[in-house]
Structure 1
Amino acid sequence: MHTNLLTVAVLGGLLSLTSSNALAKIEASEIARLGQDLTPVGAEKAGNASGTIPAWTGGLTTPPADYEASKGYIDPFASERPLYTVTKANMEQYSEYLTSGQKAMLEKYPSYKMNIYQSHRTAALPAAEYAQITKEAGTIELADGGNGMLHYEKTTVPFPIPKQGLEAIYNHFVRYRDGGYQTYPTEIVVQTNGTFTPIRREQKVVMASAMGNPEPNRLYYFLGKVTSPESVAGNQTLVHEPIDQSKEARLAWTYNPGQRRVLRAPEVSYDTPVVTADGLRTQDQTDMYNGAPNKYDWKLVGKKEMLVPYNNYKLADRTLKYKNILQANHLNQDLVRYEPHRVWIVEAKLKPGERHIYAKRVFYIDEDSWGIIAADLYDSRGNLWRTQEAHSMQRYDILSAIHTSEVNYDLQANRYITYGLENEEKSTKFGITAELTDFSPGALRRSGR
């Protein structure tokens, strides 16, 4: 593979800029490239020179003939075998295509490996989404300080040709999810000896643009409830996420079944630990990264060919049990599929005077889906502390590349946490509708009763 790391010069000298919105809007000549040499979402349509990354030809848009949603996704690449496997013994040969977190995992655990498969650019969206991307491209701007968006309607890729780091991050925030969905994700802390207890949830997320009566300045609504084990069951969280957080901060409420009270919860943000995560995950790590980005200075480093989790249908197989997936130190790596793909690299450094447990974060964003696919998290001393992976998978029934799960490895505590696995749960329901009253504090109270 050829590294193809874009330089500051290639990007017109813009990559060194941080979160200020001083950049000019995208030009009409750039918008005209969408669907031509660029895909409709702004990725490079062509493959790479070495042939390890193919050209994008429309993505995976048709379910297999025998697909049934209730039985889970059928792996269209089940017959493929790894082209090669990266281990500690040969990692230097592939070093330039690995994240710092992947290298650290390979160094730390002899049992950790990465099976590399043929690359398939499966990401695809509905035609209506492509049209909306083109319609809004060139009109949306970052709000003051980059802490939100101006002139945003409902596009799922507001910045198809990003000029700075925060633009790529906002593409991740609003990527297509079929309007809304109800899901049943598990959160599982895996101890050093491999033992674990699943924490089960029911969650509903609806984009404001998919609702008939959203409040002004709303990006999405979130309602989550812990359903088991009994010791934490009944805890609920409600979030109203603003589009422009320079005008209005995130609104959040919690319901505690012991107190039987709904309380405002400004702490549901930034680096506040998730209560059920045993200290291994912060609020802003859900979905790899979420929330207000104002604590960091952001830099678009460039685009690079890397080995990343992709097309992880095998990991999502509903015949698997969690005991088949979760092992001491790391996931069962025989179930995780990696492929060569181009990713945008975005670096976030903590601003002077701000506080957060992660002094630096490096995000790797898939060029085809705009989902964060990996992240490296550093402590205040500059040491790599934690590393995240999202297990990307094209949902060919709804045309969205929402990842099937994510994992966060703590390199210092020698433990890890997974979030989102649904192998033993109900299937996610996509395209759900909702009313504003479904996401009111009153609804939270009624649900608790």
Structure 2
Amino acid sequence: MNSKTMLRCGALALSLLATGVMAAVSPQEAEKLGTSLTPLGGEKAGNADGSIPAWTGGLKTGAGPYVNNFLGDPFEGEKPLFTITAANADQYKSKLSEGQLAMLKRYPDTYKIPVYKTYRTASNPQSVYDAAKKSAVSTELVDGGNALRNFAQTRYYPFPIPKSGIEVVWNHTTRYRGENLKRITTQITPQANGSYSPVQMADELASPQFMQGIEPGVADNVIFYYKQEVTAPSRLAGTVLLVHETIDQVKEPRLAWVYNAGQRRVRRAPQVAYDGPGTAADGLRTSDNGDLFNGAPDRYDWKLIGKKEMYIPYNNYRLQSPKLKYDDIIKPGHINQDLTRYELHRVWEVEATLKAGERNIYAKRHMYFDEDTWSLVEVDHYDGRGQLWRVGEGFAMNDYHNGIATYANQSIYDLLAGRYIVMGLVNESPKGAEYGVAANLNEFTPAALRNDGIR
């Protein structure tokens, strides 16, 4: 290499550092996707002893009954291989999170982890796999990892072969959520004795690539548009939240508005971000606890610890069944663990530590992401004293009818208060989630909020 070439290389390296650009993987490395790796970057092979099988394509349409948009359980009737309790937790602790161990200790008589046979059910449309492969060689981190470059054309899974913790988080944030969604969900915040008053919400989520009325370039920095209307109880009904979820939330912060039914006014809502209070959450979750984590990553340093095998909530079809009532699920201290299903899977382990000078009620988050879907399934939240405070669990399942990784619900347990919140319950909804609905940008504007609140 001559001196001029060395100088050019040095100048390029300095310019990359100065702009905070981190390069995508090489085309040669991206060729692993769909060969030795799954199309989304998981290890295609099983583990050494066969307790984690090889991925062979996941579940397809028709894997179970699909009635009124509810997913039937393809594994109905299976029994646990074994159950982890406070009495035998030490035997399995290498495959449990600190939060799971803390829950076993906090509720030794009722909290348990029923472990079932492992099935790698994750599947997505081929178009999503194609987008992930393009993302792998084109998408770059910029602004210290707070934003993405060259992502608007692909939109999914920017880093299927991640090299850092922030890349893993971006895969979760931008994962495929299906085409435009409408659903009725329920959020519950039980008292310590298990009594509760449900809050019902109507959710709409639309992605720019599936919407009408969007001019080219207008939504290049938008991941999705989200609208949430509280429909019950009557004292809260009519409150509507609108969010434009941006990619670079430092350059262009999340845009949020709230329509207050009592005041009949639409207001900007900058508090709907970071550790601002969650909607009707009784102080049991923050805004960025939705989806177990969402929003701008700029307040944390993200350390990629690596991969490990772990017992995580998986294939929780029973837990979303319309045969269950909320009384069956909601119990003192935690949900009814007899209805849950855990399996052994490989996860990406990431530790988020609050940066000096930044503010969030969680000083550290220890996070575990399923390798096949990039869904966040376990999160341990620590307070400013370094004490484990809250434990988040995402009860994952694969929507085999629509090819989407989703949740039966998400629960966040407050170890100190002895209370918890459950988000995304659908068991008593009139029907399950509806995908592929028509959506227009005009429906996701502040001007449209007031009509939603009073209709």
TM-score bracket relative to the smaller structure: over 0.9
Distance in 1 separating the partners of 2:155 and 2:256: 24
Are the equivalent residues in 1 in contact too, given 2:182–2:203 (CA < 8 A)?
yes
> How many residue pairs align between the two structures?
429
1:319 aligns with 2:323: yes
2:68 to 67, 70, 77: 70
The equivalent residue for 1:430 is 435
Matches within 5 A, 1:35-434: 35-64=34-63, 67-70=65-68, 72-110=70-108, 111-152=110-151, 153-214=153-214, 215-216=218-219, 217-426=221-430, 427-434=432-439
- Partner amino acid, structure 1, of 2:24: K
Q: Which runs of 5+ in 2 are unaligned?
A: 1-18
145-154 or 275-284, which deviates more: 145-154
Q: Secondary structure at the match of 2:397?
A: coil
Distance 1:273 1:329 in 2: 21
Paired residue secondary structure (1:254): strand
Equivalent residues of 2:114, 2:338 under 8 A apart = yes
**How many angstroms does 1:315 deviate by?**
0.6
Query: 1:130: how far off?
Result: 1.1
TM-score when scaled to structure 1? 0.93
CA contact 2:205–2:225 (8 Å) conserved in 1: yes
Alignment partners' CA distance in 1, 2:69 and 2:24: 45
Q: Which whole-Å deviations, capped at 9, do the CAs of 1:175-215 have from their partners, x for residues lacking one?
A: 11222211211110011111011100001011222224442
**One-letter amino acid of the structure 2 residue matched with residue 271 of structure 1:** D
2:444 maps to: 439
Distance between the aligned counterparts of 2:411 and 2:181, measured in 1? 21
- In the aligned structure 1, how far is the partner of 2:452 from the partner of 2:211? 21
The equivalent residue for 2:29 is: 30
Partner of 1:11: none
Question: What is the distance in 1 between the residues matched to 2:171 and 2:189?
Answer: 29
Shift of 1:433: 2.7
User: Structure 1 stretches of 5 or more lacking a match?
Assistant: 1-19
> Counterparts of 1:345 and 1:21 in 2: how far apart (Å)?
24
Contact 1:187 1:421 in 2 (8 A): yes
Q: Aligned-pair distance for 1:63?
A: 1.7
**What percent of counterpart residues are identical?**
48
**Larger helix fraction of residues:** 2
Superposed counterparts of 1:10-29, under 5 Å: 21=20, 23-29=22-28
Question: Do the aligned residues in 2 keep the contact of 1:21 with 1:144 (CA within 8 Å)?
Answer: yes
- The answer on whether the counterparts of 1:154 and 1:209 sit within 8 Å (CA) in structure 2 is no
Shift of 1:403: 1.1
Cα deviation, 1:7-26, whole Å, max 9, x if unaligned, reads xxxxxxxxxxxxx9554321
394-403 vs 171-180, which moves further: 171-180
Q: Output the CA distance in 2 between the equivalents of 1:279 and 1:220.
A: 26
Asked if structure 2 preserves the Cα contact closer than 8 Å seen for 1:357 and 1:379, the reply is yes
Q: Partners of 1:135 and 1:148 in 2: how far apart? A: 18
Provide Cα deviations, 1:19-71, integer angstroms capped at 9, x if missing partner.
x9554321111101011100000000000001110000000013246x23306
- TM-score normalised by L of structure 2: 0.92
Q: CA deviation at 1:73?
A: 1.3
Asked if 1 retains the 8 angstrom alpha-carbon contact of 2:93 and 2:101, the reply is yes
Alignment-derived partner of residue 3 in structure 1: none
- Match of 1:446, SS state, is helix
Residue of structure 2 in register with 1:8 after alignment: none
Structure 2: distance between partners of 1:437 and 1:22: 35
- 2:396 is paired with a residue whose SS is coil
Partner Cα separation in structure 1 for residue 193 and residue 378 of structure 2? 25
SS at match of 2:343: strand
Larger mean CA deviation between 100-109 and 73-82 belongs to: 73-82
Q: What SS is found at the alignment partner of 1:107?
A: helix
CA deviations on 1:83-110 (whole Å, 9 max, x unpaired) are: 0100011000000000111000001112
Question: How far apart, CA to CA, are the structure 2 residues paired with 1:122 and 1:371?
Answer: 13
The DSSP-based 3-state class of the residue aligned with 1:262 is strand
Rg larger in structure: 2
Q: Encode CA deviations 1:94-136: one digit per residue, 9 max, x unaligned.
A: 0000011100000111211000000000001111211121123
CA distance in 2, matches of 1:443, 1:213: 15
Name the SS of the counterpart of 2:448 in structure 1.
Answer: helix
SS of aligned partner of 2:105:
helix
Alignment check: 8 A CA contact 1:213 1:435 kept: yes
CA distance in 1, matches of 2:453, 2:359: 34
Instruction: Quote the Cα distance in structure 1 between the aligned partners of 2:102 and 2:319.
Output: 22
Maintained 8 Å contact 1:150/1:244: no
